[in-house]
Amino acid sequence: MFEWYEAEVKTLEAKLTTEPVAAGSVVFYGSSSVRLWETLRTDIGPLTRHPERGIVNLGFGGSTLAACVHYFDRLPGRIARMSPPVRSLVFYAGENDLGDGRSVDAVFDSFIWLHAMVRDRLPGVPFAFLSIKPSPARAAIMSRIRAVNDKIRERIVERPESLFIDVYGEMLNGNGTPRPELWTEDGIHMSRAGYDLWTQILTRYRVTLFE
């Protein structure tokens, strides 16, 4: 079921072996919206106020929330086992699950599993779930995107160290349509302006997640 991701996951595993994660690093985990954040280090690094802290990108292309559950112990879980405690874990996925036709309840169930793994493998570590974004190419499933976001927003408060960070609303125009400048031509992946917006939003949580 998850064979399609194996090559990229193995590459990330190898990188974690050859480049040990520094204590207090900030880990980003999830789908291609994370993987393609090429300026992640320079965007997020200044928010830490600690130059020695690493910014670790564990995004892998096309990943679903279900796949992130499947590979959790091989990626962020590996860091938890092999390295000093991380500063925080920032997560984005779920959009591809819905795009592949999975139901709202199925995607929410995957989140429940992921959240339980964060609690068990990374106790006390702040965890941020970035809401599923309103990608223009996913207009037909926007109501399901909102439904998943709402369910996760309600559930995530059960773990005190967890945050639901709403990027959905700020990626819309005043008329409720996606802001076109935030996406590339495919209507799914983000432009430089999109990542700038995400950085601005995350800056509001710098004390909890990064400092």
pLDDT tens-digit series, residues 185-202: 999 999 999 999 999 999
CA 121 remoteness from chain centre: 17
Amino acid at 204: R
Tokens for 48, please give them: 């830490």
Question: Rounded CA gap, 8 and 174, in Å?
Answer: 39
Per-residue pLDDT of 83-110, as tens digits, reads 778 999 999 999 999 999 999 999 999 9
Per-residue pLDDT of 12-67, as tens digits, reads 999 998 988 888 999 999 999 999 999 999 999 999 988 777 899 999 988 999 99
Q: Strand pairing partners for 51?
A: none
Question: Rounded CA gap, 36 and 44, in Å?
Answer: 14
Q: What pLDDT, on the 0 to 100 scale, is given for residue 34? A: 98
Neighbours of 28 (CB within 10 A): 23
pLDDT at 132 exceeding the cut of 80? yes
- Spell out the residues 6+ positions from residue 147 whose beta carbon is closer than 8 angstroms to its own: 104
From residue 7, give the alpha-carbon distance in Å to each of 4, 13, 191.
Answer: 8, 10, 26
Tokens for 88, please give them: 């925080």
Q: Which CATH class is domain 23-209?
A: alpha beta
Tokens for 33, please give them: 């919206």
Q: What pLDDT, on the 0 to 100 scale, is given for residue 3? A: 85
Q: What pLDDT, on the 0 to 100 scale, is given for residue 33? A: 96
- The enclosing H or E element of 32 equals helix 32-35
Q: Which of 84-88, 130-134, 158-162 has the highest mean pLDDT?
A: 130-134
